[in-house]
Structure 1
Amino acid sequence: MTAQNSESKTITSGFSIWVDNEELTEQEFAISPGDVERWSFNTSRGFDVTKDEHTVDFSTFGNSTSYNITRDIETADAEAYPTPYIGNVTVTEGTVDGETSSVAKVEIVNPGPQTYGMKLLVNTEGTDGSFYAVGIPSYSSETFTVELLEPVGDKIAGEGRLYTERPRDTEGALDQVEFVGSPDSKTKQWNTSYEPARGPWLDNSYEYENESIDTDMDNRENANPFDDPDRRKEVNAIALTLVALFGVLAYRKLNRSS
């Protein structure tokens, strides 16, 4: 974009650029007689990635113009555009409805000018799906406390999905990460390709599994019940009850036969 001053005096002016109804930039400038000013802007960085049809509006004092652009953007692979994403994830403990609970602190970052109505779905080995509606203003971030159903203090593995439509569709998919951690250790996380998943409100809903990560839930599921003193007491009590019952039945049978 170019501005030239052909007058004999300095001119003060300005302009704004809007992309898909959100302001990309606003500039004010003063240009001396005979001078030329040039600017360059990547308007595609302001696109709403959930749309195929895009509008660029350019306005200056006393004049304006618009351009229409068609561009089909895959939201799950929109690295060229500043789309929202999952930032830091921390497994810790917190308070949910007045009760101490395992939680994941999940940061959602919106690095661009567009504002999206989003959803966050977190699955772990013990949590079939914690769902949250997410709205983040442009150029900002917010951290959400996500309730997890594993016991407090557990090492927990899971994944988070960020999307605008449905979790089982790639259309509207924005980001997906996996994580593992506990309140006593640093949470590790890594990006993964978006994998569609059926929400917990549907039949045959998605269940998270990761056999490569050893967690406290895995250890409980694979534990020998006789390794747990309380469990041994329960088993011994059941065994004694069965022995006593067998003795009573044998005694009654013996009395009937004599």
Structure 2
Amino acid sequence: MTESTQGREERRAELAAGLARTRARIADACAAAGRDRGEVTLIAVTKTYPASDVELLGGLGVTEVGENRDQEAAPKAQAVAAAGTRVTWHFVGQLQRNKCRSVVGYADVVHSVDSVRLAQALADAARRHRDRPLDVLVQVSVDGDPARGGALAPAWGADAVEADRRLDEVAAAVAGDGPLRLAGLMAVAPLGWQPAAAFERLAAIADRFRVDHPTATALSAGMSADLEEAIRYGATHVRVGSALLGMRPTLR
């Protein structure tokens, strides 16, 4: 066995162990919440990890992969495709309008649309450079702070911001544009908040949101440190990086 082959096998074993632990946590959290395990999708967030890790995860049965920086994600997606590994790519980071054209080229789902202008830019890019619908989750602000990312929901600060950042307006912009398909909501627990409190509020926002958008049932919430609380309050997708892949040097 060559040194490179040995290193790959060792890395595969590390990933398999992390995957087993993560899947067990999700299963336990679903059981504790009285939910079916099949209701929760694991997204492996591979930011700062190499394309070879995505290939190994694909071989271990992971089909959903998340990235948060286009400059890293675009070449990684190309490399993974060239290696013959098929995964669903989720763009989960803050998206700038000038990156929309690149992102629609590889992403299957975008989790972080939080303004009407961004929705319009993404739709325009998808219309020009894509031949299939793009699933979109609207990122919602849990604490109602307009200085943070996320669209603002009614009763949680929406009246204090321009229409561009209001949840109802952003959702309408996504749902009303042919290249985009409104799939649901995404949120991150704000710094300083207890995860349970953050996700309880998110669940309330999601319940109201689904009255107007009954088919937009996806709820992307919870990461390595707080996936149990997110599942307790209805998350359908959890975004897990370090708990699954371990700590690795930052790619430059």
TM-score range for the pair, normalised by the shorter chain length: under 0.3
Higher relative contact order (CA 8 A, sep 6+): 2
* TM-score for both structures, normalised by structure 1: 0.19
Larger radius of gyration: 1
Q: Where is the helix percentage greater, Structure 1 or Structure 2?
A: 2
* TM-score for both structures, normalised by structure 2: 0.19
Q: Where is the strand percentage greater, Structure 1 or Structure 2?
A: 1
